Amino acid sequence: MTWGGGASEGSGDDQMIVAQIVSGQKELFRLLVNRHEQAVYGMGLSFFRNPEDAADFTQDVFLKVFRNLSRFEGRSRFSTWLYKIAYNTAVNNVTRKREYHSLAEDEPVCGGDTPERDMLRSAAREAVLEAVTDLPDRYRICVDLFFFYDRSYQEIEAITGYPVNTIKSHVFRAKKLLREKLAGFAEGGFE
């Protein structure tokens, strides 16, 4: 489960719905929740690794969004604004509670391969997981948002507050570190 995009991005629709909610049609907020709830819940799972905590996090995020909806100015997509609130909420909770959990740590959905290919895939996944886990948190967050959640550098900037050049640098350095850590595995792991 990921927290990118959602089932239907519809950023123009989102902005129109926000305008209607702010003008008094509060019941339309359910449309925004339906559209983005799974994505926010997925973010909660990646940070907290616990369905109950992720559900509480999701409710907390949408409560904050509802309370601050009149502050949404439409300069970015609604989803970017929403994910920034969700990200900041998660980071604040993680700082108080736990360590960040990368989406790379989630179990992949596989099926139908030979036992040998499943074993190789599992070994490769473990090697990648170990390498990603060893990255500094600031790199891991940028890598997750860029590769796993398919966010642009500008969206990552809006979500994390890191400047675009810093994000590019973090992604570049993370890829270099991962390449170095996985070089030994690639040489000996698939022979």
Q: For position 41, which CATH number holds?
A: 1.10.1740.10
What's the number of domains the chain is made of?
2
Q: Judge if 84 and 111 occupy the same domain.
A: no
Half-sphere exposure (CA, 13 Å, Cβ side) for 190?
A: 13
Q: Judge if 88 and 114 occupy the same domain.
A: no
Structural Rg of the chain based on CA atoms: 19
- Residue 175: the pLDDT is 87
- Residue 104: the pLDDT is 52
Percent of the chain at pLDDT > 90 equals 31
DSSP secondary structure letter of residue 113? -
Q: Across all residues in the chain, what is the average pLDDT?
A: 79
